[in-house]
Structure 1
Amino acid sequence: MELQLSMVVLETSDLDASIRFYRRLGLDIPDASAERPMVAHRMPSGVTLLITDGFAKAYDKTWQPPAGGYSQMLEFYVGEDAVVDSTFADLVAAGYNGRMAPTKTIGPYAAMVDDPDGNVILLTSDEAASPDAA
């Protein structure tokens, strides 16, 4: 069997704030329940985004939230350049930190926005990131 990335887990400090952010981004995130402090959304690519506020601290007693900077980005393929522009504008207008305004990089046309926990969200129109890419 070939190794596959099946899930990205985000440990969050405020589950409700993260749910609002990812819904505003355009994902159909379900409501969390009191019994399970997590939500999951399976992407058309097959990768699941799991957002939780308790898994790491419950099972890894040495876990600490990161301090300063970021070590990863989550790239979301949004389609055309105009959608990168409008999604970035909507998120910034809603009060989220716009880390990099839409621009043509050395690779794709892209923008960066911070989610409520400082995870960097890369919005891109790069066809290579499309779930339909070969």
Structure 2
Amino acid sequence: EITTDSISIGRKIRLYAEDTSDSITAFRALSCAVQNDVSRYYILRAGCGDGLVFPKHEGFQTSGHVVLSPYFDAFKLARGDDTVEFECRFTECAGFCDGDSCTVETNGRRRRSLNSVLQRPIFAKSGKFKTR
């Protein structure tokens, strides 16, 4: 959880999302991008890491009404200004969906839970943070 308006490059951080409305049963991360004034980079796609910021077989953890990313080193995008913001897309689960958003079976294929059926998309966006 970032509770400041600036982030030191290389600092260990993680993203945190919580539903405090009690209007949904559960939710799971689908995608997450970091962006600035000209660039956008997806660090999470289809629930799984991009392979650079997060390992490809690792996703965000859901526990009840809280979703947490793995820890990662803060960074800035190569093009654009020194600010970053995070924009994530979640799905409401039809039922219980605790665990990793990127569940992988031993044969390397992703396993989709029936409880992860997209009920309605949920979008969340952080404020802008200055990288230094």
TM-score, normalization by structure 2 = 0.28
Higher relative helix content: 1
- Judging by fraction of residues, say which structure has more strand: 2
TM-score (norm: length of structure 1): 0.28
**Structure with more relative contact order (C-alpha pairs < 8 Å, separation 6 or more):** 2
